[in-house]
Structure formats: C-alpha cells, structure tokens
Chains A and B, each alone.
Chain A
Amino acid sequence: MTHLPNIMTSDLTQLLQQTGLWRASHLDADHSGGIPTGYPQLDQLLPGHGWPVAGITELLHDHAGIGELRLLLPALARLSHRQARWILLVAPPCLPYAPALAMAGIDLRHLLVVRPPSPGDVLWTMEQALVSGSCSAMLGWPGLIREKQIRRLQVASKEGHCLGFLFRGTAVARQASPAELRIVLGHQPPNPLYEHSAVSVQVIKRRGGWGCQPFTLNLQDRLNQITPDFSDMAVTNPEPEKPALGFIDYAHSTVTHERRLQ
C-alpha cells in the first residue's frame, strides 16, 4: 500500500485501460454469460449475470418449501423452451406437481422425474444425467453426499454442459465444497407491503469473487397476501347449502385482498 503513491496516477489509469488486466471487481470478466435467474437483484451478484452455464450450484436450506424451487423456476422455464434437452429432477422429496410447473412456464415435455430406488443409484443417476449432454439442468436432492462425490458431479457437469443444482442442508455451509456456486437460503419475515413472498439469500461461494452478505430477494410468486381475519369463520358456523356449480366462481372472487406497491 505504501508503494501506491509512488506510481503515477496516469500510469495506473493507463494500466487499467489495458485489456489484459483482470480485476476482481469485474466478476464477469472471463465468464461467459450465465443463464439469467429471472431476479435482477441476484443476477448482479453472480458471475456471468446468471446461473453458471455448467457446474454445480449448491442451494443450502433447512426447510423444504422455503422458496428453493421458486428461485429456480424462471431459469428452468427459460431453459425448457430454449433447449430441447431434459430437465431432470432426481429424487425429489415429494411428487412434483405438473400444473404448478406448467404455470411457471416450464415445458413439461422436457421434464423428467427420476426416483432411484437406492441412495447409490441417486448419485449414479445424477452423474449420468450431467455427463450425458442431453440434460439442460439437473436438480438433485442427494441426501448425504461427500465432497469427493460433489467433485465428480462438478466435472461431469462441465463435460455435459449441464446446470447442476444440489439441495442440501445449511449444516454443510462451513464445509469445503468444490461446487461452482453456493447459496444459503434462509427465512425472511414477510413484508406486508409486498405481494410476493421473500427469501433471504446469501452467496457464500462464487467464482471470481468473495461471498456476500445475506439480502432479501422478493420472489415473483404473488403468494404473500394480507391475512384476512378468519376468526369469524369458525367451524361451528353452518355454511349455507349452495348449488354445486356455483362453488368455483365463489372461490375465485372471495378474499383476495391485494395491496400493490406500485
């Protein structure tokens, strides 16, 4: 640091203008364009302004349902329409629900769900899918997985040009991992002013940069509504009998209070 004043400022700017110089602040300097996440806030933080084109991304979260898949849906929808390759869900914890995926814009023709019978087969399936070159994305719920195994998956993913996502618990956040990108997802108390639900995102590992502080990411799901008071709808209240066909219209028009920010 003491040497810095000795260098003439003009020299420094000249040096900076030279193309061969890499600066850590230019995250995407040598990363080819990533796949847009659909969340500009997150894109800014990621090298290549999006999910890495190939490589393993770890999403660490403790509770299934926190928003881990909603975070990926825009990118998956984009991939399913741009590439005629599979999107593979390996060993998902529950049954993926087709209408929700279709609603998110995913082309279901390219979605394949695999439920391997044993844990060993889960790893095999993930590796085969990544290396085959016929998958655009692989989402895996591996359960327990060792660092060495992640390294294999990372290599396979690079070879097959496939996006790999692993869902793991936050307990492993402190362990080293060869994954390309590691993100911790946490609970974010809802802001009543937003119509979308939110999740706390912390990038703990990325290529060409340091991790970042947790920040709030608003998902595009319109799932955060003002809670109406249901106390008067106690069970004891008898519901008036209605003709069967009237029910659906009734359902749509009821309690959808929305307060938009704009």
Chain B
Amino acid sequence: MKEDFSKSLLSVRASASRSLWLCVCLPALALEIYTRGLSAEEKAKPVVVLSKRRVQSLNQAALAAGIRPGNNLDTAYSLVQDILCFDRDEAREFAALENLAQWAYQFSPATAIRAPDCLIIEIGASLSLFGGRDTICQLIQTGLETRGFSARLATSKTPLAAMCLAQSGLEGHHASVAGALAPVAVTHLRIDTHITESLQQMGIETIGKLLELPLDGLTRRFGIYFSDYLQRLLGAKPDPQKYISPEPHFHTSMSFMSDISNVRGLIFPINRLLDELTEFLTARQLSTNQLCWKLLHRNQAPVSFSLYLARADNDRKAFLQLTQLKLEKLKGIREIDTISLTVNQFLASNSRTQDLFEGTRFRQQDGRDHETGMEAQADRLLNLLTNRLGHDACFRLSLANDHRPEKAWRLLKPGQTDTNRRAPASHDAVSNHKGKRPADAGSAPARPVFLLTPPKVLRSEGFTPCFRGRLTLLKGPERIDFGWWDHDTPLTARPRDYYIARHPGTGVLYWVFHYPRDGKWYLHGIFS
C-alpha cells in the first residue's frame, strides 16, 4: 500500500522530458557587482559587502584574513584595517541579474530570472545548435568570467532540481532527477527555513532521505505547498517558468574602487562595456546610432555625453573611437567612480556583406573605381567629424525644385537622405571630362560656385555696381521672378535682374543683381 514516493514519480513522467534546464547560480553576486570593474591588484584587497552592518558576502582575501559571513563590521575592522566595505544593494543585484539574463538570451529564448542570484535557462532545444551541453556551459562560464562574474552551473531535467544542484555545487551524472539530488543537503532546497530546520531535527539531512518518506505524510506535516514544491522538483508536476522577453534596452555600469581622475584610465572599462554592448546587439541583430555615457561620482554632479552616429552600427571599434574623441573634449572632470552606458534606440541591423576582397580596389568595366568596404569607411569619417565638430558643422548639399537662387538648394544633415532625385545623369559628367560639353551647359544660365547668404548691398555709381572699385557688367540681365506663391516677404517679393560682373583689377567674377526700378545693387555670389 505504501508506495515509494520516488518510484511513483517515475511512472508519472512529464511529457516535456526532453527539456534540459541549466541553472546559472551566482553565489557572489552581491560582491561582484562592486568588484567586477577592479584590476587584479585591487581584487587582492579584502572586500566585504554588508547587510545591516553584518558581513553578508566577502572575497577570498577577506576570508583568508579571518573574516566570516555574519561578523559585524567592527570585528572585520579589527581583523584587517585595509578593508573595502560596501552596503548591499539588492536593486542593483537584480539589475545585474536582468542584464545577464538578457545576455543569456542568445543561448535560449527560454530564460528566466530567479532572484536573488539564479538564472534558469532551458537549453534542451539549443543543444544541437551549440554542439552539446558542455559547450554551452563552457560558453556561459567564460562569458560570465569576462564580465567579472563567477558562476556555478548545473543541469537537470527540472528547473528546481537544476537550482538545487547549482547551489550545492554537486552535479551527479545521474539519469534520474531523484538520483542526482540524493546527496544534496536539504538546506539547498528553496523552502521556508522552519521546514528545513524541522527536517534536520527529524534527522533528514539529504534530499535522498527526504524522498524516501511518503508524500501524503509530508503533505500532512508541512502543507500542500511543500509537497507541490517536491513534485515540481522531481518533474511530477509541470513547473511553468516566467521567461524574460528580450527588451531592446541596454544599460550597464561599472564602479571603480578608487576614483579615476585621468580620462585615459577610463579606456579599459569603456572597452569592456562596449564589448557587452556589441554582444548584446549581435545577439539581437540590432544596431544603434545613439549611445549615452554617464560619468558619476558620489560627491559631484554626473557628467553625461552622447554619441550620434550617421548610420546605425554595431561596430565596437567605431564606438570606442568616437567615445575617445568625446572624452578628449570633456573638460572639468575631476573624479569618477562609476561609469555607465545606456542605449535606448535600436534599429534592425542590416548586416553588411563581408567581401572576400575587402578593401581591394577594382576598376569596373564602365571605368568606375570600385572599392569594397568603402561605404563603411565613409560612414566612419562622417561619424568622426560630427562627433568632434558638432552636428551642425557637417552637411551635404542637394538640389531643390525651385528656380529662385536662395531656394534652389537644400542643406542635408549627415543622416538625412536626399529625397530629390534631380541629380544630373552620370553619363553627362563622364562625357564632360572627355571634352564634350554637357548637354545643358549652353542653355542653362551660369551660376556661381559660392553664394552669399544674405546678399550683400553694394555701392553703386550710376548704373554701375561697385565692390572694391567699379565692376564691369559682362552678361545679363537674367530676370528671376519672385515666388508669389510662397508668400515671400515684401522685401524679396520682387523680380530681380541678375548680371555677371567682373572686377577689372583682379579679374574676379561676381554675380550681382538689382531690382528693376531700384538703383541698389546686391552681390549674391562669387564665380570662384
């Protein structure tokens, strides 16, 4: 009549038996959110994290010095003088965990956060993509290490079992969940502490022993929630997880142990944060054109600066170069203890095709030079210029559909695309250099290469304009009508007569105009 609990479970196998859960346990998360930005020698110092003035978590150096979890701050100081203390920041821990979950999203879409220190990832469906369980574990382990986190990984057929195994650090290679969990201490179960205590008082130290007990007895003694937990632990009941959704929001930060006053010292952490960003972007096939850096100090107002890219990118080198440029221009930074990077704007990345002959110059059949990778380089230069000189310093020009000189052109900001397709056909210009005249050169009136905005008023003698001496009128008049349909201002709403004028002494050609029935001359352009 008494049926062995674990045996009863074997008969009720969950349908999703193929799923394999990986638990990433970060036992030192409370500590590592502070220490991950440190250099190796700073890490050698004793560091403790306090919760209610008691040591909650500590590093190897502190442990070696004799500090133990639960010691109060005074004890810790009496053991070691040179000690770094931080207050525990659970919000930041959770933020770090969320960040890591977003990063882990690249391995599986079924990723869940288990506060305070665990991530649960379903890797059963990703095994063949990454080449097996061990490879994924290896990838995650090294990925976390480069981010400055140490983790214990364990896999099992149920999420809760994986968590127990990861927390205990034991991972038996058992076929069954119950077999793997058998040597794990009951303290690693995620249940109320009073249940664990009473189990220990009953002499039940390991999960193996616990599972030998009859289920209905345990339910009667510890309640329905406990037996439900055990059933989920062993896979007898389904255990739905709340998966994260990949948010396109990126925020990461790094704190320094000692204040940084030299901007050059920031390059290393910046590099690291950018690494995280590019991995984030690559995993989601996104690119960005706006990065926001924030430099913080506990005693000073934060300094933030943004990078704008002409075209969205996910190239770490480009980001780094532009960040350095901006940093060089920053003034008045005395001390920094935290640096953070935030990206909120994302665009789908249209990956550039990598050419086998990257950077090689070809001559095409039609005589044009073609260099692969050219567009990327052109963007890089544009990014460089706009970030150092400001957004207004660089612009492109385009034609506009208007006959009035002031409105016949438009200014295009770097990222803007030309909507007007009135560019001259390419064969016109090619024939031009061969000695033939472009088709429209004879008919279209000449225009100056430089335009004065606004036109400059000239002195005049009789009907002759003067600009550093009397000008000789060469060609004209060309009458250009005003734009009555545009409601021009009354001053400009008059037709103009344009002439080409030469300065007799220097030979400079000017574009001048006057309003009919008005003696005033204006200089509007220079035929450079």
Contact = CB atoms under 8 A, between A and B. Distances in A.
B433 interface: yes
B448 A97 contact: yes
Contact of B374 (A103, A134, A230): A134
A66 B510 CA distance: 10
A62 interface: yes
B418 interface: yes
Given A106-B429, A197-B509, A247 B438 contact: no
B478 interface: yes
A225 interface: yes
B481 interface: yes
A146 interface: no
Contacts of B449: 69-70, 73, 96-97, 100-101, 104
Contact of A128 (B371, B385, B405, B506): B385
Contacts of A259: none
B39 to A, nearest CB: 33
A69 to B, nearest CB: 4
Interface string B372-395: 001101101110110011100111
A222 B441 CA distance: 9
A195 to B, nearest CB: 10
B447 to A, nearest CB: 4
Contacts of A103: 424, 438, 440-441, 444, 446-447
A212 to B, nearest CB: 20
Contacts of B393: 114-117, 121
Contact of A251 (B409, B452, B478): B478
A247 B389 contact: no
- Which of B396, B397, B428 has the most chain A CB atoms closer than 10 A to its own CB? B397
Interface stretch (B64-72, B277-285, B362-370): B362-370
A156 interface: no
A98 B398 contact: yes
Contacts of A70: 449, 527-528
B456 to A, nearest CB: 10
A100 B448 contact: yes
Contact of B377 (A36, A117, A132, A220): A132
Interface in A215-236: 220-225, 227-228, 230-231, 233-235
A252 B445 contact: yes
Interface of B is mostly: mixed
Contacts of A101: 397, 449
A78 B434 CA distance: 10
A94 B526 contact: yes
Nearest to A161: B361
Interface residues of B, number: 86
B368 A82 contact: yes
A114 B393 CA distance: 5
A105 B429 contact: yes
Given A95-B451, A223-B446, A239 B517 contact: yes
Nearest to B431: A105
A252 B481 CA distance: 12
A251 B445 CA distance: 10
A179 interface: no
Interface string B337-375: 000000000000000000000000000000111110011
Interface residues of A, number: 88
Contact of B508 (A63, A73, A244): A63
A188 B368 CA distance: 36
B106 interface: no
B479 A248 contact: yes
Given A117-B393, A124-B388, A82 B369 contact: yes
B450 A96 contact: yes
A133 interface: yes
B408 to A, nearest CB: 5
A44 interface: no
Contacts of A102: 399, 422-424
A68 B528 contact: yes
A164 to B, nearest CB: 15
Interface stretch (B140-148, B202-210, B469-477): B469-477
Interface string B140-169: 000000000000000000000000000000
Interface stretch (A9-17, A24-32, A85-93, A203-211): A85-93
A77 interface: yes
A188 to B, nearest CB: 6
A108 B463 contact: no
B509 A97 contact: no
B433 A78 contact: yes
Contacts of B462: 234-235
B36 interface: no
Interface in B229-258: none
A107 interface: yes
A199 B503 CA distance: 13
A80 interface: yes
A256 B475 contact: yes
Given A84-B375, A105-B438, A113-B397, A97 B409 contact: yes
A99 interface: yes
B502 interface: yes
7 contacts: A73-B449, A77-B432, A85-B374, A94-B451, A112-B382, A132-B380, A234-B463
The 8 closest A-B CB pairs, nearest first, are A105-B429, A98-B409, A251-B479, A65-B508, A94-B450, A187-B507, A69-B528, A100-B447
Given A85-B374, A222-B441, 19 more contacts: A73-B449, A77-B429, A94-B525, A98-B408, A102-B423, A105-B429, A114-B394, A125-B385, A129-B385, A132-B380, A227-B472, A233-B463, A234-B463, A235-B462, A239-B517, A247-B495, A251-B479, A254-B476, A255-B477
